Amino acid sequence: MALPFRKKTVSTDTLPEQLPKHIGFIMDGNGRWATKRGMPRKFGHREGAKNFHDLTRYCRSIGIQNISFYVFSTENWKRPQEEVDAIMDLLWQYLNDCDEYLEQEVRMIFIGDKSRLPERIQKRMLELEADSAKYNKMNLLLAINYGGRDEIKHAAQEIAAEVKAGTLQPDQITEDTISQHLYTKDVPDVDLLIRPSGELRLSNFLIWQCAYAEYYFTNVLWPDFSREELNKALVEYSKRGRRFGGV
């Protein structure tokens, strides 16, 4: 069953000309959003998923080239089984309701270690990646069973195997070699990292790719992080002086 989309409009008149090429979203605060309303945490995830849909559509409409969402971390398995199941159910529902994204020529990329996920989910992810590989209007990255350190470990293992096989010399390893072995190899580094809900940390999300990202924190909880809130973040981003270590 399709998730009821919230049809939202927001003025784009005040949007800055200089938009980030890659935005990372940490979808935090779903649990608190639900608890505040006396509802089980899984209702917060459901609202969070609706908001994810709405912001994805919005980013596509204003021409953001790459967006990444932290859906489920390598540490999230520690949550109560009922909550893990609820998130996996939402994910399964979403994976079967992606026509709109394909019609909009969005390329879908799933980052993280797929091997621990239920088999039907893994299979569907691979299908969607293959079906959307030809599209280039926007890259939509979903981090599922993802951890930044785990990703770098995985890259190191692949590089070590190439060295062992004699196809790569240790002194040929550059930063770009490492970038090219990450799940995000086809996507530029993150320009703007957004974390709502008042927490001020990266929580192992895209730690290599956020080396020069601008960070935007707000107390708004993820289900309430609307198009208007994103516009505020984009305006703030456009005012930051990015020097990448220069002067």
Asked if residue 101 lies in contact with residue 86, where contact means CB atoms within 8 angstroms, the answer is no
Task: Report how far residue 191's alpha carbon sits from residue 24's, in angstroms, rounded to the nearest whole number.
Answer: 8
The CA–CA distances, whole Å, from 241 to 17, 21, 29 equal 15, 16, 29
E-strand stretches of the chain: 22-26, 66-73, 106-111, 138-146, 192-195, 214-217
Tokens of 1: 């069953």
Q: Strand order of the sheet with strand 106-111?
A: 106-111, 138-146, 66-73, 22-26, 192-195, 214-217
Q: Which stretch binds ligand FPP (CB under 6 A): 13-21, 42-50, 59-67, 212-220?
A: 42-50
The H or E element containing residue 241 is none
Q: Closer CB to ligand FPP, residue 71 or residue 111?
A: 71
Residue type present at position 24: G
Quick check: is 76 catalytic?
yes
Tell me if 32 contacts ligand FPP by CB under 6 A. Answer: yes
State the number of binding residues for ligand FPP (CB under 6 A): 17
Shortest Cβ 27–ligand FPP spacing (Å) = 4
Tell me if 90 contacts ligand FPP by CB under 6 A. Answer: yes
Asked if residue 107 lies in contact with residue 136, where contact means CB atoms within 8 angstroms, the answer is yes
From 76, 113, 150, 204, the catalytic residue: 76
Tell me if 20 contacts ligand FPP by CB under 6 A. Answer: no
Tell me if 71 contacts ligand FPP by CB under 6 A. Answer: yes
Tell me if 50 contacts ligand FPP by CB under 6 A. Answer: no
Closest C-alpha to 71, from 55, 93, 48: 48
Task: Report how far residue 206's alpha carbon sits from residue 184's, in angstroms, rounded to the nearest whole number.
Answer: 9
Q: Closer CB to ligand FPP, residue 31 or residue 147?
A: 31
Quick check: is 28 catalytic?
yes
Shortest Cβ 3–ligand FPP spacing (Å) = 8
Tell me if 30 contacts ligand FPP by CB under 6 A. Answer: yes
Tell me if 29 contacts ligand FPP by CB under 6 A. Answer: yes
What three-state secondary structure class fits 56?
helix
Contact letters for ligand FPP, residues 178-217 (x by CB under 6 A) = -------------------x--------------------
Tell me if 45 contacts ligand FPP by CB under 6 A. Answer: yes
Task: Report how far residue 204's alpha carbon sits from residue 75's, in angstroms, rounded to the nearest whole number.
Answer: 10
Tell me if 28 contacts ligand FPP by CB under 6 A. Answer: yes
Positions marked active-site: 28, 76
- The binding site for ligand FPP (CB under 6 A) comprises 27-32, 45, 48-49, 52, 71, 76, 87, 90-91, 94, 197
